[in-house]
Structure 1
Amino acid sequence: MVTTGIYCRPGCGSQPLAENVRTFEHPAAAEAHGFRACLRCRPYRVAGPIAADVPELLCRAVQLIVAGALDSGTEAALGARLAVSPRHLRRLFTQHLGVTPDQLARSRRAHFARRLLDDSDLPVADVAFASGFGSVRQFNRDMRLVFRASPVELRNRRRRADRLVADGGLVMRLPFAPPLNWPALLTFLGERAVPGVESVRDGVYRRTISLDGAAGLLEVLAGGPDHLLLRAHLPFWEGLIHVVERVGRIFGVDADLAPAEAALARDPLVGPLIAARPGLRVPGAWGAFEIAVDAVLAQYTARPRARGRLAALVEAIGQPVPGLDHGLTHLFPSAATVAAADLRGVGLPADTADTLRALALAAARDDTLFDGGSPLTDFLREVTAVPGVTRDTAQRIALRLGYDDAFPVVDRADARTRGEPGAETGNDAGTGLRLAPGTEAGAAWRPWRAFAATHLAAADLAALTA
């Protein structure tokens, strides 16, 4: 609102005159133009989604920023990772978001810190480093720029209902734009949970994580109509913002479903599935290498046997984490650990072991292989260059890494459901599609094929368990 210098979320109860309203594409853009967040609707508590019609390059840049590319790096380094000049990158951000990459990164850190000040009792200095700030001085300066108040003043202003108390660990809200289909997401993740590392029981998702080699535990459960609850048990709080962002990606809390739902609502196959499961998001992943290992194992055998092999791998070379319950026993092994392991000794067949070792070597040598910074076509080419990895396996990895147009093709789901011969070698992402030679999988669903594939998989899984 021009007259007050305040910006609000759509749907806020304030009713300014139309001529006094200025629209921004992102909260960070409003802050860059001198506006502060409304105290009524508190837009800093919900991450602003990126519009669906922005260039793919911009989406990948935002994903890298969220992962921390600008916490200690520069716009020049980010541009180099995306193979563009810093000037072109800034021009894209300014044109489509109204903000520079650095301003977006600063806004995200400040918004996360404000949520921590509201929700937790962490000391202010701990909030600074948990939110990705390099120093308390930088933290104080940026909070004053964004919120017009010091961190201590903001802590003193928090609402009594905001404070979350936990019996151990730290609890935070994971806000989302309703609806979010929690039961369908849990079913999907539970079917694919890594034994010993992940657990889905009694409506709670749990997993072990490694932070600089030290073990942590995360628990996610339903909170309210517009948020999930994350309970984190971590060895330290520095960089907590990236832990929370990665957890949010697992459940797609920042996803804007409206464009995909609008595009596919009238599709004769996918449309009814969307109506049956409103709010189903494309599940993401905590660890990209973890997803890649699972996809390679599933490439060679049906999911039940692949899960058994995954469990054997984790038990043999994963770092043990004693004292946990709910079936959690280990950390998932790193790419370097898998590359150095005797995979045949773990019980993997020769072809599976060779492909998995090649994948681990590639991931250990190139830490950008699975960071989502490449276009989908480049990502598929790079991953299928690993000996033994099929294009469909690369598509399955890409879907969980957030590529909107990723689409694993499956033509054996029906056979495996009926127990027919040949089912053992079929891919199991659940579409059950049978394609004519030369047909592009899911062409009618572009550019939302990952969304379509998720609904098809959910429907197949529901049919199998009915």
Structure 2
Amino acid sequence: MTTYSAVRTTGIYCRPGCGARPRAENVTTFELAAAAEAAGFRACLRCRPYRVAGEVSPTSPELVCRAVRLVLDGALDDATEEQLGHRIGVSARHLRRLFHEHLGVTPTQLALSRRAHFARRLLDDSDLSIAQIAFASGFGSIRHFNRAMREVFRSSPKELRDRRRRHDRLLTDGGLGLRIPYEQPYDFGAALSFLAARVIPGVDSVEDGTYRRTIMLDGGPGVLELSVGGPDHLVLVAHLPYWEGLIHVVSRAAQVAGIGLEQPGAWGSFEAGVQLLAVQSSAQSGLGGLVRSLGTFVPGLTHGLAYAFPSAEVVASADVEALGLPATVRELAVRVHAGEVRLDGAASLDELISSLLSIPDVEPTTAHALATRLGYQAAVPIGLSIT
């Protein structure tokens, strides 16, 4: 896990491996860059700590880890800490106390640091305009973006873009290229093997060291490509209808690759649930028919991609048994659409497992396998064999 060294005499914090050699008595260690920033330190210009993967300690309480996942998924983009607390069943005051105690930062400060660091990477990696970067990073206005960047990096976005190093800019053959940092040990080859065994025809594919998949972004189709970029990062090439909310696309792509997780995660939580139910019933072959009949057709794609996976709302009103899938799939869709089964990370592990097991014919191994793919680290790491 990355830790950050903040030097009290200079007001600067660094990542491990930085060439700076401060006196030990002048150094304070933080587990999160956001905590260092909340304490008044600014990022080192030499080691650029915003370019490494920062993770919350797995020893943090489950509720804190769950709230962090929601914050990183954008729970505070258009909501307050009070609303976030309500989603997970605690008061905003209690939530802030837990964050201060275990992370050294408030939920709002964590969200702001997250957006600012992502924007800083876009200023390096891409040629997107400053306005595009602001909205891609989850900021509601250019004014808020400018203020946040000055607060975190002590410079304007233009000044930061002007400091970009020549080799920072990513060149790709179409699409927008972005670095997704990770910490060692991490095995992308193992992640590809895991994903290859779970490919849904028409939706995703693994070829020549690259994972590709279709997505829907607020009603518009897109395609993502993940491959190795270097010893400390993957490269994501995104083909999207627009860049607003790109920060959450990149975050979910990192989850799919299994960065910081026990195993590769899932782009769509409902999609993962349907797939596991199909495996439980030995009905994987029905997934292709489901996608062709109910998915959104995306013309002009290659590498076997042609459809985006259907939503729970669509599947809830479909005759899935005629497509070769068990009736349990439709029941899951009905309950997800009705909000009775919450797959967005807001429910506790016990609540999630209980709601899944209340569906007829859902087995405990399936419920726990889904929880694991959704990032619940306390879930029993058991899954269904897929060959």
TM over 0.5, yes or no? yes
Q: How does 1:326-341 map to 2 (within 5 A)?
A: 326-341=303-318
Question: Which residue number corresponds to residue 219 of structure 2?
Answer: 213
Q: CA deviation at 1:193?
A: 1.0
* TM-fit CA distance, 1:393: 1.1
The structure-2 alpha-carbon separation of the partners of 1:313 and 1:408, relative to structure 1 and needing over 3 Å to count, comes to: farther
Q: 1:368 to 1:18 in 2, by over 3 A?
A: farther
Of stretches 27-36 and 339-348 in structure 1, the one that deviates more from structure 2 is 339-348
Residue 154 of structure 2 corresponds to 148
Using the alignment, how far apart are the partners of 1:53 and 1:130 within structure 2?
31
TM-score (norm 2): 0.96
Q: Does 1:49 align with 2:55?
A: yes
1:294 is aligned to 275
Give 1:40 shift.
1.4
Provide structure 1 residue ranges, at least 5 long, that are not aligned to the other structure.
Answer: 256-280, 411-426, 430-460, 462-466
Q: After the TM superposition, which of the residue ranges 400-409 and 21-30 deviates more from structure 2?
A: 400-409
Distance 2:272 2:24 in 1: 48
Within 5 Å, give how 1:14-413 maps onto structure 2: 14-255=20-261, 281-301=262-282, 306-348=283-325, 352=326, 354-366=327-339, 369-407=342-380, 409=382
Q: Tell me, what secondary structure is at the counterpart of 2:205? A: strand
Q: Is the 8 A contact 2:181 2:232 kept in 1?
A: yes
Shift of 1:7: 0.2
Match of 2:385 in 1: 428
* Contact 1:48–1:254, Cα closer than 8 Å, also in 2: no
Distance in 2 of aligned mates of 1:118 and 1:254: 23
Change (3 A) 1:245 1:409: closer
Code of the residue aligned with 2:339 in structure 1: it is D
Deviations 1:435-461 (A, max 9, x none): xxxxxxxxxxxxxxxxxxxxxxxxxx7
CA separation of 1:65/1:369 partners in 2, compared to 1, >3 Å: closer, same or farther?
A: same
Structure 2 match to 1:422? none
Paired with 1:212 and 1:64, the residues of 2 have a C-alpha distance of 19
Q: Spell out, residue by residue over 1:299-354, the C-alpha distance to the aligned partner (whole angstroms, 9 max, x if none).
A: 111xxxx3311111111111111111111010100001101112233233xxx1x2
Match 1:6 to one of 2, 6, 12:
12
Greater CA radius of gyration, 1 or 2?
A: 1
- Three-state SS of the structure 2 residue aligned to 1:362 is helix
Between the aligned partners of 1:384 and 1:110, the Cα distance in structure 2 is: 40
How far apart, CA to CA, are the structure 2 residues paired with 1:75 and 1:347?
44
The structure in which a higher percent of residues are helix is 1
- For residue 212 of structure 2, give the secondary structure of its aligned residue in structure 1: strand
Distance 2:285 2:122 in 1: 40
Structure 2 unaligned segments of length 5 or more: list them. Answer: 1-6
Shift of 1:386: 1.9
Report the TM-score when normalising by structure 1: 0.80
Q: Give the C-alpha shift of residue 408 in structure 1.
A: 5.8
CA-atom RMSD, angstroms? 1.4
Cα deviation 1:232-264 (Å, max 9, x = unaligned): 000000000000000001112245xxxxxxxxx
Q: Distance in 2 between matches of 1:166 and 1:377?
A: 44
What code does the residue aligned with 1:67 have? D
Rounded to whole Å, the distance in 2 between the matches of 1:367 and 1:233 is 33
Q: Deviations over 1:91-118 (max 9, x none)?
A: 0111111110000000000000000000
More strand per residue: 1 or 2? 2
CA gap 1:46/1:250 in 2 versus in 1, 3 angstroms: same
Q: 1 CA distance for matches of 2:324 and 2:271?
A: 18
Distance 1:409 1:402, change over 3 A: closer
Measured after TM superposition, the shift of residue 409 of structure 1 is: 4.8
- Pairwise CA distance, 1:208: 0.3
- The question of whether the paired residues in 2 share the 8 Å contact of 1:294 and 1:310 is answered with yes
Separation in 1 of the partners of 2:281 and 2:173? 43
Give the direction of change, closer, same or farther, for the CA distance of 1:114–1:408 in structure 2 (3 Å limit): closer
Q: Distance in 2 between matches of 1:47 and 1:27?
A: 10
CA contact (8 A) 2:191 2:258 kept: no
Residues 118-158 of structure 1: CA deviation (Å, up to 9, x unaligned):
00000000000000000000000000000000001000001
SS at match of 2:285: helix
Tell me how far apart the structure 2 counterparts of residues 96 and 110 of structure 1 sit (CA, whole Å).
Answer: 22
What is the rounded CA distance, in whole Å, between the counterparts of 2:121 and 2:115 in structure 1? Answer: 10
C-alpha separation in 2, matches of 1:408 and 1:392: 9
Deviates more, 1:359-368 or 1:282-291: 359-368
Q: Structure 2 CA distance, aligned partners of 1:344 and 1:395?
A: 24
The one-letter code matched in structure 1 to 2:38 is A
Shift of 1:21: 0.8
Alignment partner of 1:199: what SS?
strand
For residues 96 and 363 of structure 1, do their structure 2 counterparts lie closer, same or farther at Cα, with a shift above 3 Å needed? same
